[in-house]
Amino acid sequence: MIRLLSYIYPITKKIKSDYNGIVEITWYNGKKLLNSKNANFSYGSLEKILQVGFRNLDLSNCKNILLLGLGGGNVIKTLQQDYNYLHKITAIEIDSVIIKIAKDEFGINNSDKVKIICMDALDFVVKNTEVFDLIIVDLFIDDTIPTPFFTNNFWQHLTHTKQLLFNAALYVNNNESLQKIKQLLTKNAFVITQLDNVNKTNTLLIAKKTKL
Ligand SMILES: C[S@@+](CC[C@H](N)C(=O)[O-])C[C@H]1O[C@@H](n2cnc3c(N)ncnc32)[C@H](O)[C@@H]1O
């Protein structure tokens, strides 16, 4: 019923999160979305943007993916349903309310394949010893990427992987921080593709080790 009504007008539920202010779960045109005040977090434009990223990756040899920024779990659903990816995913999310929303509203649960950890992504990568085939960096507080995720300290911890997908910003495509990340990755044998204005907004960085 809600789905049908949402074709006539959007139906929204507001929830106070731990880190992202008030977030909204909105039924719109038959689809359920997760939005922060100024950005779509999951299942709306974000889905279209990350789909473009996935088309530029090689998922065929991936067996172990790290997702930094669970949100509503859109990436997990896309990987499993659209790409038939049925191997391991570790998802890191700082906001416990968002993890609960992913579970209750979008059916994203821990399982033998999916491990969800409530933790700061920087702390996780500093302590982590596991090697991942692909790391997806999708870390926003509302519409802003927190500054630690533009530092060499953070990115140095990701250089063991074979492929990286970075949802790098909204409306920013040539800032100094992004250039520094690209330099660091190039030094670590990655070939980088930068896609600007994806879905008319975001910049994506795709980095692949020269030998996969
Ligand atoms: C755009 S949403 C991610 C959407 C998600 N990738 C998906 O597939 O639906 C960004 C997420 O990053 C999380 N985040 C922001 N800062 C973080 C941090 N320091 N550590 C872990 N998660 C963080 C936010 O709480 C938010 O849920």
Residue range 72-84, pLDDT digits in tens: 999 999 999 999 9
Give the integer Cα–Cα distance in Å for 15 and 144: 19
Give the start-end residues of each E strand in the chain. Answer: 11-16, 22-28, 31-35, 40-42, 64-68, 88-93, 114-118, 134-137, 163-170, 190-198, 202-209
In this prediction, residue 117 carries a pLDDT of 98
Strand 40-42 versus strand 22-28 pairing type: unpaired
* Ligand 1 contact via 141 beta carbon (within 6 Å): yes
* Ligand 1 contact via 44 beta carbon (within 6 Å): no
Instruction: Calculate mean pLDDT across residues 16-25.
Output: 96
What is the fold, at CATH topology level, of the domain defined by 45-209?
Answer: Rossmann fold (3.40.50)
Total residues found in the chain within this entry: 212
Give the integer Cα–Cα distance in Å for 42 and 146: 18
**What are the backbone angles phi and psi of residue 170, rounded to the nearest 5°?**
-100, 125
Ligand 1, pocket-test mutation among 138, 144, 167, most atoms within 8 A of CB: 138
Strand 114-118 versus strand 88-93 pairing type: parallel
Which amino acid appears at position 34 of this protein? Answer: L
* Ligand 1 contact via 65 beta carbon (within 6 Å): no
In this prediction, residue 211 carries a pLDDT of 64
Give the integer Cα–Cα distance in Å for 177 and 76: 28
Token pair of 161, please?
Answer: 């992987």
Instruction: Calculate mean pLDDT across residues 39-61.
Output: 93
Q: Whose CA is nearest to atom 1 of ligand 1?
A: 41
DSSP annotation of 201 reads: T
List the domain boundaries for the chain. Answer: 45-209
Question: Ligand 1: distance of its center to the CA of 70 in Å?
Answer: 5
Strand 163-170 versus strand 134-137 pairing type: parallel
- State the Cα torsion 182-188-192-196 to the nearest 10°: -20
Question: Ligand 1: distance of its center to the CA of 103 in Å?
Answer: 15
In this prediction, residue 11 carries a pLDDT of 75
- In tens, the pLDDT along 167-191 reads 998 666 568 899 999 999 999 999 9
- State the Cα torsion 75-133-113-138 to the nearest 10°: -30
Question: Ligand 1: distance of its center to the CA of 138 in Å?
Answer: 6
